[in-house]
């Protein structure tokens, strides 16, 4: 029925649910006659053809189904004996009514001649990595690691006994920042792009490096060593003082 009536997905679902309800509750014919009263003769005949088709949907109509149809026909205003003639008419002369307990063949069974071939599977989805993004993330991770290394190195230096501090720590800034400052002291002005590239080479995050260098510069000279955003301006004299 679902295929014949071209039902939607929701309608097929409701039809299946109604079938389950009919099979489990087995409703009686009580009240059916009252519901059929508004139908005219043409609608009643169409209803009779429909229930005959439902009964023979599996290719056979059993004696029990014939007895049920014989009860429904009078409610439709049709003679109970019309059930047999309607079955024969629906079968277009091919149906045979078997008396007794034998079922009635409505449509002779036929074997299926084939099956649907499933479509060829599409290409397998592969994961493509953006290597530029990967390199950027690795560089950022290296910068963060360098900052953390500087932080913990400073803490270890402060907490260590004076006799254990190496002579190489005489500078006022950590090694990576000292390297950056030495490069910057070569010129008094750098573009932001140039500064970011030098900071990356030293394993530092640009903004974090500026903040730290200026903080150290204020402590020792009372003035920043780096100013501006683009271009970056460097106080070469202060820079050389901090790295010595």
CA dist., res. 138 & res. 66, Å (int) = 80
The CATH number of the structural domain formed by 132-154+170-243 is 1.10.10
Q: Is the pTM of this model over 0.85?
A: no
Least confident residue range of 123-127, 187-191, 231-235? 123-127
Q: Taking a C-beta distance cutoff of 8 angstroms, is the pair 105, 93 a contact?
A: no
Of 11-25, 111-125, 170-184, 209-223, which range is least confident? 111-125
| Whether 55 contacts 65, CB under 8 Å | yes
Q: What is the pLDDT of residues 144-174, one digit of tens each?
A: 666 666 666 655 555 544 433 333 334 567 7
More confident residue, 192 or 119: 192
Mean pLDDT of 208-213: 84
**Would you say 157 and 169 are in contact if contact means Cβ atoms under 8 Å apart?**
yes
Per-domain residue ranges of the chain? 37-108, 132-154+170-243
What is the Cα–Cα distance from 59 to 53, expressed in whole angstroms?
10
Q: Is 50 exposed, middle or buried (0-12, 13-18, 19+ CB in 10 A)?
A: exposed
Backbone φ, ψ for residue 232 (5° rounding):
-90, 125
For 241, phi then psi, to 5°, come to -70, -35
Mean pLDDT of 170-199: 81
Roughly how many angstroms between the first and final C-alpha of the chain, as a whole number?
93
Mean pLDDT to the nearest integer, 79-85: 86
Structure tokens at 203: 């394993």
């Amino acid at each position: 029925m679902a295929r014949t009536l071209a039902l939607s997905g929701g309608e097929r679902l409701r039809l299946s649910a109604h079938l389950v309800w009919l099979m489990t509750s087995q409703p009686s014919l009580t009240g059916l006659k009252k519901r059929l009263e508004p139908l005219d003769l043409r609608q009643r005949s169409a209803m009779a053809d429909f229930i005959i088709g439902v009964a023979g949907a599996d290719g056979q109509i059993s004696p029990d189904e014939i007895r049920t149809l014989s009860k429904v026909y009078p409610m439709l205003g049709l003679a109970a004996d019309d059930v047999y003639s309607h079955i024969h008419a629906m079968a277009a002369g091919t149906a045979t009514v078997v008396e007794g307990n034998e079922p009635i063949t409505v449509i002779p069974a036929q074997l299926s001649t084939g099956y649907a071939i499933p479509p060829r599977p599409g290409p397998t989805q592969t994961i493509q990595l953006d290597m530029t993004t990967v390199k950027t993330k690795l560089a950022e991770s290296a910068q963060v690691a360098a900052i953390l290394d500087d932080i913990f190195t400073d803490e270890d230096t402060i907490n260590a006994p004076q006799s254990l501090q190496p002579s190489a720590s005489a500078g006022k800034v950590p090694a990576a920042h000292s390297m950056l400052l030495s490069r910057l002291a070569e010129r008094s002005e750098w573009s932001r792009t140039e500064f970011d590239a030098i900071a990356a080479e030293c394993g530092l995050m640009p903004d974090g490096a500026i903040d730290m260098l200026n903080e150290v510069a204020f402590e020792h000279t009372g003035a920043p060593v780096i100013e501006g955003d683009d271009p970056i301006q460097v106080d070469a004299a202060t820079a050389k003082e901090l790295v010595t």
